[in-house]
Amino acid sequence: MKKIFLSVLAGSLSFPVFAFDFHGYIRSGVGSTDEGKGQQCFALTGALSKYRLGNECEQYLELSGQQSIAQFDDGSTLSINGMLQFYNQYGHSLKFDGEYGYTRLSQIYLEWKDIAALNGASLWGGRRYYNRNDSHMSDFYYWNESGTGIGIDQYKIGDYNLSYSWSKRDNQDQKKDIDRHNLTLKGIQLTSDNELQFGVSYLHDHDARDGWSLTAQNIQSHVFNGKNHFIVQYGEGAGMGLGYTGDTSLSRSNTAMRVMDIVDWESPQYRMNGQAQVLYQKNNFTDQLDSKWFSAGVRTAYIISDHFKISGEIGYDQIKQDQQRNLSKFTLAPTWSLKGTGYYDRPEVRLYYTYAKWNKHEQALRDLNLDNAFLGADHGSNFGVQVEHWW
């Protein structure tokens, strides 16, 4: 270990590097209810996500940059990375601050990449989005190791990649420092089209209790001209957050289990494409009601021309506790896509109409909020226009 450490330090600076990479993401729009009030989005109370097409109620912008600092004789490079994040709710002054918005430096970290003495691994430290796995149609990050901490990324052991990170906070909303250790193994090729990935997290709160979680993910290529993700997760105590830090007041007798499948698909003639997902999660508690969350949805686009398609999305969420609550939503969205009509091609400009309906038990919870635009109703609809782009 000492020899490796010294050889890393011995890599002399070859020449300064001044390259700067700039990336970004934006979604922005305007919407209204069918009664002329400001748009309010449809999400089942207590669900961890919602189906997002025609169902987003914020102006949102990310600006990311990477500045190379140095390159060394072993081919490794040192860079500083950062991202500014801007958020503002619909219906409020565009301040990106205060009660209805924020401006954040959501990422700022140093990374030393491709270190020869570490088998091509990278070292990093700071606040970073890290190992984020999500379903695009619901914007649900089911496996997410982001945090403020340090890590070693993709240390090669044969054909496998081993990564470790330690963090104190998942994000800026987390109020208390909690030790979170993540160990991830990727690159397990079951077949030429199947990669298996594993991740285990241990969480420790010095003032409360600890917990752990396990994630297994199989990624299969060439499924319906796309890709399929099948995920199984389990957690105990603070590990009940599964992809995040959970409640450290819970003992390990409290458990969570989640099974999820996500498929990106495209028709053989490339006239249709989209994404579908199904999710089931069960939380077992010792001192409160157990809960079961079921979610299923599909987004489909029919290609009219090289730059125009009709997109539609159907989503359903259900939570069972002492009562069963559910919410269904449907969206239709004529869409102009400037660079192509693939599922992930951007930019897109969408006109949309969204209709949602929920049962009486969900309505009782929604009506507790007197600012609810659909107070006293078991359904509602929105319409509007939105642009989305990443680069």
Find where tokens 């398609």 sit. Answer: 309
Cite the DSSP H helix spans in the chain. 2-10, 360-366
Q: Is the distance from CB of 81 to CB of 65 less than 8 angstroms?
A: yes
What per-residue confidence (pLDDT) applies to 67?
97
Whether residue 12 is predicted with pLDDT greater than 80 in this model: the reply is: no
Whether residue 1 is predicted with pLDDT greater than 60 in this model: the reply is: no
Q: Is the distance from CB of 88 to CB of 100 less than 8 angstroms?
A: yes
Which amino acid would we find at residue 194? N
Task: Give pTM, 2 decimals.
Answer: 0.93
Length of the chain: 391
Q: Quick check: is 294 in a domain? A: yes
Rg of the chain in Å (alpha carbons): 23
Distance CA 10, CA 85 (A): 37
Whether residue 14 is predicted with pLDDT greater than 70 in this model: the reply is: no
The residues pairing with 264 across neighbouring beta strands, listed in sequence order, are 227, 275
Q: Is the distance from CB of 367 to CB of 375 less than 8 angstroms?
A: yes
Q: Quick check: is 257 in a domain? A: yes
DSSP letter (8 states) at residue 38: B
Domain extent, residue 207, equals: 38-53+114-390
pLDDT band per the 50, 70, 90 thresholds, residue 19: confident
Q: Quick check: is 73 in a domain? A: no
Q: Is the distance from CB of 44 to CB of 362 less than 8 angstroms?
A: yes
Share of the chain above pLDDT 70, in %: 95
Distance CA 314, CA 319 (A): 17
Distance CA 39, CA 27 (A): 15
- At 282-301, the pLDDT tens digits run 999 999 999 999 999 999 99
What per-residue confidence (pLDDT) applies to 17?
54
Q: Quick check: is 3 in a domain? A: no
Q: Quick check: is 33 in a domain? A: no
Q: Quick check: is 321 in a domain? A: yes
What per-residue confidence (pLDDT) applies to 248?
93
CATH of the domain at 234: 2.40.170.10
CA angle 269, 275, 279 (to 5 degrees): 145
DSSP letter (8 states) at residue 4: H
What per-residue confidence (pLDDT) applies to 347?
97
Q: Quick check: is 61 in a domain? A: no
What per-residue confidence (pLDDT) applies to 11?
46
Section 173-183 average pLDDT: 93
CA dihedral 217, 218, 221, 223 (to 10 degrees): -100
- At 212-247, the pLDDT tens digits run 999 999 999 999 999 999 999 999 999 999 989 999
Which amino acid would we find at residue 315? G
What per-residue confidence (pLDDT) applies to 9?
47
Neighbours of 362 (CB within 10 A): 22
Whether residue 7 is predicted with pLDDT greater than 90 in this model: the reply is: no
How many distinct structural domains can be found in the chain? 1
330: nearest Cα among 311, 347, 346: 311
3-state secondary structure of 240: helix
pLDDT band per the 50, 70, 90 thresholds, residue 175: confident
When the pLDDT of each residue in the chain is averaged and rounded to a whole number, the result is: 94
DSSP assignment of 366-384 = HTT-TT-TTTT-SEEEEEE
Section 266-291 average pLDDT: 96
Q: Is the distance from CB of 117 to CB of 8 less than 8 angstroms?
A: yes
- Does the CA dihedral 109-110-114-116 come out positive or negative? negative
- At 29-42, the pLDDT tens digits run 999 999 899 999 99
Distance CA 46, CA 195 (A): 33
Q: Quick check: is 71 in a domain? A: no
Distance CA 267, CA 253 (A): 46
Distance CA 196, CA 184 (A): 11
- At 100-123, the pLDDT tens digits run 999 999 999 999 999 999 999 999
CA distances, 155 to each of 9, 55, 123, 165, 185 (Å): 18, 40, 10, 12, 10
Section 167-175 average pLDDT: 91
Share of the chain above pLDDT 90, in %: 92
Distance CA 336, CA 177 (A): 45
- At 121-141, the pLDDT tens digits run 999 999 999 999 999 999 999
Give the tokens for residue 198: 């594993």
